[in-house]
């Protein structure tokens, strides 16, 4: 069974929020949607789970009880305890009695929430709320896991825990889609969707995106901006020649995924260089 969006567009009044977006989500894969604020990442997920209507195109998703969705903020009832949050959302997804209790306590264990089980959702730290929301979304072992910016603002240690949970869900057979503003996280994806202003500007596995950029990348150690399309990297500059050779004094460099993402964005806005 495959889910996803097919030629999907969303408009809010006159404003296009999503334009002609297509992706497929297979079991045991992680798809990462990357983009800045306002790129259309949340709309993409909301369209997938059916929270916003498509103006054209098609969304394919499993039945409600097969979906686990965590929005960018919230997802936890602040005036319910951790136990009650798990019981409530488990119940909504059709879990009952002893099975629900077993799954709740397994979730508490797995997410390090055992000591916090009687605390109110609203009294947990931001990171713990995220974990609880994820625990609630995973309790019923959904076939499709949809996570909106699960790692924004959390530190690298919590982030690596979060990704451990995501990888476990995928290894266990779920199709997972995650949004992020951190480009380095996209390298963990089987498939990446790079969004800008509601449009897909690059799509594919991280290695295929690197392979597809074309042109030549180089590094220049100069005090001033080198000729051509360039951006800073540390004290040096990265230079991209879409066609033809690199300018004089620029050494060729093997592109990495972060470079490919900048290049894809630049290619999308060619002529404007980095004046964004």
User: Please, what is the minimum distance in Å from the beta carbon of residue 94 to another protein?
Assistant: 26
- Helices H, strands E: what count in the chain? 7, 13
Report the SS3 class of residue 149.
coil
CB 88 within 8 A of CB 99: no
> How big is the site for another protein, counted in residues (CB under 8 A)?
54
- Answer for which of 20, 219, 233, 242 binds another protein (CB under 8 A) is 233
**How many angstroms separate the CA atoms of 85 and 83, rounded?**
5
User: Terminal CA-to-CA distance of the chain, rounded, Å?
Assistant: 41
Cβ atoms of 158 and 132 closer than 8 Å: no
Among 35, 135, 150, 218, binds another protein (CB under 8 A): 35
Paired strand residues for 241 = 216
Is residue 38 within the footprint of another protein (CB under 8 A)?
yes
Contact predicate 150/160, CB 8 Å = no
Please say which residue, 98 or 157, places its beta carbon nearer to another protein: 157
CB-nearer residue toward another protein: 119 or 269: 269
Taking CB under 8 A as the criterion, the residue among 81, 141, 205, 216 binding another protein is 205
Residue 162 DSSP class: H
Quick one: which of 30, 28, 66, 68 has its CA closest to 171? 28
199 counts as binding another protein under rule CB under 8 A: no
Give the footprint of another protein on residues 118-177 (CB under 8 A): 125-127, 152-161, 163-164, 167-168, 170-171
Tokens 């059916």 correspond to 50
98 binds another protein (CB under 8 A): no
Q: CB of 146: closest distance to another protein in angstroms?
A: 19
CB of 97 to another protein, least distance (A): 28
Site for another protein, rule CB under 8 A:
28, 30, 34-39, 125-127, 152-161, 163-164, 167-168, 170-171, 181-184, 187-190, 196, 205-207, 223, 231-235, 258, 261-262, 265-266, 269, 274-276
């Amino acid at each position: 069974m495959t889910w996803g969006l097919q030629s999907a567009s969303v408009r809010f009044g006159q404003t296009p929020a999503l334009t002609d977006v297509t992706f497929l989500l297979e079991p045991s894969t992680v798809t990462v949607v990357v983009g800045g604020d306002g790129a259309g990442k949340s709309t993409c997920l909301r369209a997938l789970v059916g929270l916003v209507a498509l103006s054209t195109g098609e969304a394919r998703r499993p039945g409600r009880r097969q979906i686990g969705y965590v929005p960018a903020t919230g997802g936890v009832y602040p005036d319910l305890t951790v136990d009650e949050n798990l019981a409530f959302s488990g119940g909504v997804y059709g879990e009952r009695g002893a099975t629900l209790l077993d799954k709740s306590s397994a979730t508490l264990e797995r997410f390090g929430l055992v000591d916090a089980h009687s605390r109110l959702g609203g009294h947990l730290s931001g990171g713990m709320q995220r974990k609880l929301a994820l625990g609630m979304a995973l309790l019923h072992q959904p076939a499709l896991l949809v996570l909106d910016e699960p790692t924004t603002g959390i530190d690298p240690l919590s982030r690596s825990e979060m990704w451990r949970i995501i990888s476990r869900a995928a290894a266990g057979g779920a199709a997972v889609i995650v949004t992020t503003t951190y480009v380095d996280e996209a390298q963990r994806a089987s498939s990446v969707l790079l969004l800008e202003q509601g449009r897909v500007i690059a799509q594919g596995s991280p290695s295929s995106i690197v392979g597809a950029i074309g042109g030549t990348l180089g590094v220049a150690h100069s005090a001033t901006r080198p000729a051509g399309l360039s951006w800073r990297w540390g004290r040096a500059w990265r230079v991209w020649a879409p066609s033809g050779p690199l300018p004089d004094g620029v050494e060729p460099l093997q592109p990495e995924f972060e470079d490919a993402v900048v290049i894809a964005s630049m290619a999308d806005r060619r002529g404007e260089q980095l004046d964004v």
